[in-house]
Amino acid sequence: MTEVERHSYDVVVIGAGGAGLRAAIEAREHGMRTAVVCKSLFGKAHTVMAEGGCAAAMGNVNPNDNWQVHFRDTMRGGKFLNNWRMVELHAKEAPERVWELETYGALFDRTPDGRISQRNFGGHTYPRLAHVGDRTGLELIRTMQQKIVSLQQQDYAETGDYEAKLKVFAECTITELLTDPATGAIAGAFGYWRESGRFILFEAPAVVMATGGIGKSFKVTSNSWEYTGDGHALAMRAGATLINMEFVQFHPTGMVWPPSVKGILVTEGVRGDGGVLKNSEGKRFMFDYVPDVFKGQYAETEEEADRWYTDQENNRRTPDLLPRDEVARAINAEVKAGRGSPHGGVFLDIASRLPAEEIKRRLPSMYHQFKELADVDITKEPMEVGPTCHYVMGGIEVDPDTAQSVVPGLFAAGECSGGMHGSNRLGGNSLSDLLVFGRRAGLGAANYVSTLSSRPAVRQADVDAAARLALLPFDPPEGSGQPENPYALHQDLQQTMNDLVGIIRKAEEIEQALERLVELKARMRRVVVEGHRQYNPGWHLAIDLRNMFMVSEAVAKAALMRTESRGGHTRDDFPQLDPQWRKTLLVCSSAADDELVPGVTVEPKEQEPMRQDLFELFDIEELSKYYTEAELAAHPDYRGAAAGSGDEAGKEEA
Amino acid sequence: MSYIGKFRVWRGDANGGSLEDYQVEVNEGEVVLDVIHRLQATQAPDLAVRWNCKAGKCGSCSAEINGKPRLMCMTRMSTFSEDETITVTPMRAFSVIRDLVTDVSYNYEKARMVPSFQPPKDLAPGEYRMQQVDVERSQEFRKCIECFLCQNTCHVIRDHEENKPAFSGPRFLMRIAELEMHPLDTADRRDLAQDEHGLGYCNITKCCTEVCPEGIHITDNALIPMKERVAGRRYDPVVWLGNKLFRRNRA
């Protein structure tokens, strides 16, 4: 029998980024004994990397903003593939969630009348992002970390124990979810302490997945080592489904030089505050890349674009602030056409647009980052930037209102959940997403637990199996052949995904990637790690690789199946938006054919039509760029196929 | 542009260890953390090191490089000459778990002892009004990425384990200052700063400020003003007299 440290909780939250902390706060405030389990130290989560801000239609800077405008912007940004109910909840609840942070002690930048200031961002009609300079994510994490401490202080005052009701298990990795074989419901979670390598078991009827993204499967990424798709893979292995996995956001502006920092993010706030993209000829090329679906919504001359920063009523915004997928593709095209910067990116110029002091005040960490890492003074010279793997729109399929997956007791929020952002996420919608749905997941879990009459039991056999799989890299099966180094295997996986399932895709390349994944998975069985279980990074990587392989297969298979281009999925061989695909979701699940790295199966599924009152928030002209003729007939302004511009649908190139 | 760099890295655990020499490839534009990662991938797969963002934003990769407390991800290799041996050791003020990873739980314990933000009772969410100039004082301190380099370098605890129970270190004295300067906070932590968190131990040598990777003026903007507030409350003769006269009423 496996030696394992056992704990019993009502709710176990996996991940201590924004979504996880907000879920934990909510579950604890509803009386649940709650554990937060995270791979890093408390307060180090990837959310700290979020720079620009948190989108919420508070209307502090432009009173015309409201939830309907935010709803429309988000649906447009996601090319109408979004789960509309999630988008509705998000747009309606984001302001409350931001205001709530002030009651926890957050200090956002202010407007002259003392309210929370809001900044412009790509795809948002009005200044909408609550921010703190360019370190908004850090403010969110610290604020919620400190809120958790304050709840622990309350518990200490009552019980004499800080951790009586809410405990953080830091530097602890979950390797498997455990379920009740009869009902499929969550029974617990199994993992190990990174420090000692000792096993730990949580017996709990509810798990909130808040593990973030999958960027570490790609070579050039803004994501940290933690982003290995743990939540995605754990959920699939426990029987849950993923949607939208083919949509991966390549942030248009990552650093490209020096090589060691390639991929590190340059906030969109640079463009929001006036920075412009230029090619090697000094041309502001984004004016040439406004796609038909956005024609008329963006400035057509540099003069109009520049006037927009001060007068938004009478001018249209600069195309530098198109949604991220459009900007990333445009940069890619400029570089391919030979108009790139010396190190294979394009130029992002703020130096000639704002006074040096203003740049340092508004973008202090960007100034710092370029000065320290690239020896570039952004107040004097332009930055070199290019696309970097940043965010996965796909994730665990959940019920919008409760955040519960198809597995009873398994909830998900933040980046590891899917649906909210459709095919492309707008900047600033991530921090608001994790607040809104972090809270809903915590609430959903609390409600679920309080209705249970009995708790599913963890089976010893499952614990033993999880322990055996975790230890496999120390003791690979005999005669399995040449031992594999986990670091080398990881690099090969990243190269494969980057080259073959990256920003621009085509069928042959994706098929090639799938073949390579089969080979890499075979090598996975031969991974051997040196040393012992105490704080052994080679072993930790070997365990995380299991998840990266599953997630990579899901991305590649879904990308192959979707024969159109939309948002974060661009097919060279199918460059158009296809309205038939708009209402189709690709659902990934585990084939359960292998215990170490199960295969992934992908099934199409019809998306639920938008509720009528939300549907009517859009003009028929706009909808006709995305919807099929049959769907458009439900709109009150529909005048038949021959009359409107509806007949363009399907032929429209985007 | 690459060369073979000489590295000396501390390897070991709570029971002891030693400096080990490595020769490892260094490329243009790299930082110390890149080279440590290359060591892991090629020569020392079990070399323990904490890191996350690799962009100076999370404060995980704190260590001592040639004896100086630094973030490994923000220390460029170009600041050293090619023939220089670069010594990387774990933070000294905290006990070692393994290699470059230390036990920083002291910091989380001290964080728990600082009474949290106490919001005004009469304001609902959304009704908070503060001026930019007023929030900026606390915002400076909230730039802190909790790398704990200030704690590591502070001589009150660096080689004085015995002071840890009585002293919370610059990071958490600054946290108290941050809350005290929050325009809407309603609590008073001045006595606590002196009595429970050991503000008096600080003799403003500014070592913390010097090592702060975020450039926060910890001593000038947080610790000294905090000392002044405590002094104003405890040692101002008018306040003292007021306390004497009205103590009974306040109890």
DSSP string, B140-161: HHHT-----HHHHH-HHHHT-G
Contact list, B59 vs chain A (CB under 8 Å): 44
pLDDT beyond 80 at A308: yes
Q: Are A199 and A470 in contact (CB under 8 A)?
A: yes
Q: What is the pLDDT of residue A645?
A: 46
Reported confidence tier of residue A420, pLDDT bands at 50, 70, 90:
very high
| CA–CA separation, B31 and A259 (whole Å) | 10
Nearest CA in chain A to B142: A139
Could you tell me what percent of chain A has a pLDDT over 70? 98
A236 with A94, same domain? yes
A514 with A545, same domain? yes
Mean pLDDT, residues A94-100 taken together: 98
The residue of B9, B11, B37, B46 whose CB has the most chain A CBs within 10 angstroms, and thus the best one to mutate to test that interface, is: B46
The tens digit of pLDDT for each residue in A383-416 reads 999 999 999 999 999 999 999 999 999 999 999 9
Reported confidence tier of residue A649, pLDDT bands at 50, 70, 90:
very low
* Domain-ending residue, one of A558, A579, A600: A579
What does the domain layout of chain B look like in residue ranges? 2-102, 105-250
A122 with A257, same domain? no
The residue of A48, A140, A226, A264 whose CB has the most chain B CBs within 10 angstroms, and thus the best one to mutate to test that interface, is: A48
| CA–CA separation, B208 and B219 (whole Å) | 7
Give this prediction's pTM: 0.94
**Residue bearing the bigger pLDDT, A229 or A481:** A229
* From A324, A329, A571, A582, the catalytic residue: A324
A641 inside domain? no
- Long-range contacts formed by A516-523: CB under 8 A, 24+ apart: A516/A492, A517/A493, A517/A549, A517/A552, A517/A553, A517/A556, A520/A489, A520/A492, A520/A493, A520/A496, A520/A549, A521/A549, A521/A597, A523/A484, A523/A489
Q: What is the pLDDT of residue A644?
A: 44
Put simply, the answer to whether A115 touches B129 (Cβ < 8 Å) is: yes
The tens digit of pLDDT for each residue in A229-288 reads 999 999 999 999 999 999 999 999 999 988 888 899 898 889 988 999 999 999 999 999
Q: Into which CATH architecture does domain B105-250 fall? A: Orthogonal Bundle (1.10)
Q: Which of A49, A375, A536 sits opposite B57 (nearest CB)?
A: A49
A270 with A237, same domain? no
Contact list, B111 vs chain A (CB under 8 Å): 149
Q: Which of A261, A264, A535 sits opposite B48 (nearest CB)?
A: A535
pLDDT beyond 80 at B233: no
Helices (H) and strands (E) in chain B, counts: 10, 7
Could you tell me what percent of chain B has a pLDDT over 70? 98
Q: What are the E-state strand segments in chain B? A: 3-13, 16-26, 62-65, 68-71, 85-89, 96-98, 101-102
- Rounded to the nearest integer, the mean pLDDT of chain B is 94
Q: What is the pLDDT of residue A261?
A: 85
Contact list, B139 vs chain A (CB under 8 Å): 107, 109, 132-133
Put simply, the answer to whether B57 touches A138 (Cβ < 8 Å) is: yes
A426 with A358, same domain? no
A354 with A444, same domain? no
pLDDT beyond 50 at A454: yes
A485 inside domain? yes
A603 inside domain? no
CATH code, A346: 3.90.700.10
The residue of B58, B107, B129, B179 whose CB has the most chain A CBs within 10 angstroms, and thus the best one to mutate to test that interface, is: B58
| CA–CA separation, B13 and B101 (whole Å) | 9
Query: Where do we find the tokens 């320290």?
Result: A372
Reported confidence tier of residue B44, pLDDT bands at 50, 70, 90:
very high
A213 with A78, same domain? yes
Put simply, the answer to whether B60 touches A44 (Cβ < 8 Å) is: yes
A378 with A504, same domain? no
Put simply, the answer to whether B112 touches A162 (Cβ < 8 Å) is: yes
| CA–CA separation, A223 and A217 (whole Å) | 10
Q: Which of A112, A374, A487 sits opposite B40 (nearest CB)?
A: A487
Reported confidence tier of residue B248, pLDDT bands at 50, 70, 90:
low
Superfamily name with CATH number, domain B2-102: Beta-grasp domain (3.10.20.30)
CA distance B2 to chain A (A): 12
* Domain-ending residue, one of A367, A388, A409: A388
CATH code, A32: 3.50.50.60
A68 inside domain? yes
A83 with A41, same domain? yes
Reported confidence tier of residue A211, pLDDT bands at 50, 70, 90:
very high
Q: What is the pLDDT of residue A642?
A: 52
Please report, as a single letter, which amino acid is at residue A623.
L
Mean pLDDT, residues B147-151 taken together: 98
Could you tell me what percent of chain A has a pLDDT over 90? 87
CA distance A553 to chain B (A): 24
* Domain-ending residue, one of A365, A388, A411: A388
| CA–CA separation, A273 and A333 (whole Å) | 24
Size of interface A-B (CB pairs under 8 A): 177
Contact list, A257 vs chain B (CB under 8 Å): 29
Reported confidence tier of residue A86, pLDDT bands at 50, 70, 90:
very high
A401 with A355, same domain? no
Q: What is the pLDDT of residue A650?
A: 41
Reported confidence tier of residue B242, pLDDT bands at 50, 70, 90:
confident
Structural domain tally of chain A? 3
Contact list, A538 vs chain B (CB under 8 Å): 40, 45-46
A38 with A149, same domain? yes
pLDDT beyond 60 at A106: yes
Q: What is the pLDDT of residue A312?
A: 87
Residues contacting residue A109 through CB under 8 Å, at least 6 positions apart:
A116, A117, A131, A132, A133, B132, B135, B139
Q: What is the pLDDT of residue A480?
A: 67
CA distance A480 to chain B (A): 21
| CA–CA separation, A273 and A379 (whole Å) | 13
Contact list, B15 vs chain A (CB under 8 Å): none
Contact list, B50 vs chain A (CB under 8 Å): 40-41
**Residue bearing the bigger pLDDT, A562 or A295:** A562
A354 inside domain? yes
The tens digit of pLDDT for each residue in B201-213 reads 999 999 999 999 9
Q: Which domain holds residue A505?
A: 477-579
| CA–CA separation, B147 and A394 (whole Å) | 32
Put simply, the answer to whether B130 touches A534 (Cβ < 8 Å) is: no
CA distance A132 to chain B (A): 8
What is the ipTM score, two decimals? Answer: 0.94
Q: What is the pLDDT of residue A259?
A: 81
CA distance A296 to chain B (A): 35
Q: Which of A57, A25, A96 is nearest to A438 (CA)?
A: A25
Mean pLDDT, residues A358-386 taken together: 91
| CA–CA separation, A533 and A540 (whole Å) | 9
Reported confidence tier of residue A531, pLDDT bands at 50, 70, 90:
confident
- Rounded to the nearest integer, the mean pLDDT of chain A is 94
The tens digit of pLDDT for each residue in A493-504 reads 999 999 999 999
A239 inside domain? yes
Reported confidence tier of residue B63, pLDDT bands at 50, 70, 90:
very high
Contact list, B135 vs chain A (CB under 8 Å): 107-110
Query: Is A324 one of the annotated active-site residues of the chain?
Result: yes
Put simply, the answer to whether B57 touches A95 (Cβ < 8 Å) is: no
β-sheet with A199-203: strand ranges across = A4-8, A199-203, A186-193, A172-179
A227 with A287, same domain? no
The tens digit of pLDDT for each residue in A602-646 reads 999 999 999 999 999 999 999 999 999 999 999 999 987 654 444
| CA–CA separation, A420 and A85 (whole Å) | 8
pLDDT beyond 50 at A535: yes
A616 inside domain? no
CA distance A390 to chain B (A): 13
pLDDT beyond 90 at B28: no
pLDDT beyond 50 at A652: no
DSSP string, A351-398: TTTS-HHHHHHH-HHHHHHHHHHH---TTTSPEEEEEEEEEE--EEE-
A633 inside domain? no
Put simply, the answer to whether A102 touches B125 (Cβ < 8 Å) is: yes
Put simply, the answer to whether A107 touches B139 (Cβ < 8 Å) is: yes
Q: Which of B40, B53, B111 sits opposite A224 (nearest CB)?
A: B53
